Structure 1
Amino acid sequence: MTELYSSLSFDELVTRVRRCTLCAEHLPLGPRPVIQLSESSRILVVGQAPGRRVHETGLPFNDPSGDRLRDWMGVSRDVFYDESKLAILPMGFCYPGTGKSGDLPPRPECAPAWREALLARLKHIELTLVIGQYAHAWHLSDPKKSVTDNVKDWRKDWPKVLPLPHPSPRNNMWLRRNPWFEQDVIPELQLRVREILRP
């Protein structure tokens, strides 16, 4: 796919992504790709797929999960939504709908269609934050079977890539059971973010 879009300018490629209707028949609220990126982005945030509130506002991580993620990173909303600093490319760009135990997985058509072409344009990324099992499977050099195992092995691809659990309030129990994550990993993450973003 990268070669297919190589003749397009960055802005043309992003415009095509924002107009994508590849999964339209499977999306309960219709297509609305929610992404954020610039050719100068320094940090890449890779989530699962937008939730309903993000779909409605068109702003990635505009929910309690985003509040916690910003706390973990030690950044303000202004910094987080500055595309010259942060790119946000979930594994699925559109809200996939809700199942019995939360939002459905990212649509499988999305990543093969667009991911490599977009990542090839992000040449200044110094840190990639990968959130949840689908992001882990795509972005980690040797993903383990569980999110917990990947996060425990966080130094493997550090300081270029950091696996994270999902910051959703649904994960409060995981955080209580794994206090080492916020004690050991979060301070290192905040230090790395400061190093990358300082003027």
Structure 2
Amino acid sequence: MEDLLTEIRNCEVCKEHLALGPRPIVAANPESRIAIVGQAPGTKVHKTGVPWDDPSGKQLRNWLGVTDGIFYDERKIALIPMGFCYPGKGKSGDLPPRPECAPLWHSPIFEGMPNLQLVILIGQYAQRYYLGEKMEKNLTETVRAYKNYLPHYFVLPHPSPRNRFWLSKNPWFVEEVITELQWRIKDALR
């Protein structure tokens, strides 16, 4: 696994498309019990090199019910984005994750983690890639149908502060989904 992670961290496959240059961000270990598949690093994470080191990450750790120590222990939780580098700025936020990363790197990473109990798919990019036609008509309905993807996958919206409106419109998410998520996290980490 270390050789693979070194290869990923040195990847420059889409270098010419990255405004800030390549800086692949990933954390995984053969002992990982949970994998979190997110979107792509933002500018703050690009600068620090620490996955989910931003307000979205703080919200995600809150949803998961885990401390920073557990979250950043790659023997427990692997952090695997759909796009490993910051993709750049678009009209209404960051650009989508680069399409080269997941097909190139996800299978070898997952093959190297035989102890996985749960894969958390955050946002539409991860859900579309892993669930395909099993997704519902939109993100809200996919998250509402989260039980359909268990026990292997758990689906979540992006924990961005920009999603406050979505959270306020969907109180069932915190009441039902987060409760189930935290139970699944504790079970997987036992």
Determine the structure 1 residue equivalent to 2:145. Answer: 153
Determine the structure 1 residue equivalent to 2:163. Answer: 171
Amino acid of the structure 1 residue aligned with 2:126: A
| Pairing 1:40-55 to 2, within 5 Å after superposition | 40-55=31-46
Mapped partners of 1:79, 1:11: distance in 2: 20
1:98 equivalent to 2:60? Answer no
TM-score, normalised to structure 2's length?
0.97
Determine the structure 2 residue equivalent to 1:134. Answer: 125
The Cα of 1:159 is off from its aligned counterpart by 2.5
Determine the structure 2 residue equivalent to 1:84. Answer: 75
1:36 equivalent to 2:27? Answer yes
Mapped partners of 1:97, 1:145: distance in 2: 28
RMSD after superposition: 1.0
SS of corresponding position for 1:130: strand
The Cα of 1:99 is off from its aligned counterpart by 0.8
Determine the structure 1 residue equivalent to 2:106. Answer: 115
SS of corresponding position for 1:82: coil
Amino acid of the structure 1 residue aligned with 2:149: D
Are the equivalent residues in 1 in contact too, given 2:28–2:79 (CA < 8 A)? yes
Determine the structure 1 residue equivalent to 2:5. Answer: 14
Mapped partners of 2:105, 2:189: distance in 1: 27
Mapped partners of 1:126, 1:82: distance in 2: 16
Amino acid of the structure 1 residue aligned with 2:118: L
Amino acid of the structure 1 residue aligned with 2:172: W
The Cα of 1:113 is off from its aligned counterpart by 1.3
1:124 equivalent to 2:115? Answer yes
Mapped partners of 1:84, 1:46: distance in 2: 16
- Answer 1 or 2: which has greater helix percent: 2
SS of corresponding position for 2:149: coil
Mapped partners of 1:152, 1:34: distance in 2: 30
Determine the structure 1 residue equivalent to 2:63. Answer: 72
Mapped partners of 2:129, 2:136: distance in 1: 12
Moved over 6 A (4+): none
The Cα of 1:100 is off from its aligned counterpart by 1.2
SS of corresponding position for 1:140: helix
Mapped partners of 2:2, 2:185: distance in 1: 26
Runs of at least 5 residues in structure 1 that lack an aligned partner in the other structure:
1-9
The Cα of 1:196 is off from its aligned counterpart by 1.7
Q: Identity over aligned residues, as a percent?
A: 52
Mapped partners of 1:18, 1:95: distance in 2: 13
TM-score, normalised to structure 1's length?
0.92
The Cα of 1:16 is off from its aligned counterpart by 0.6
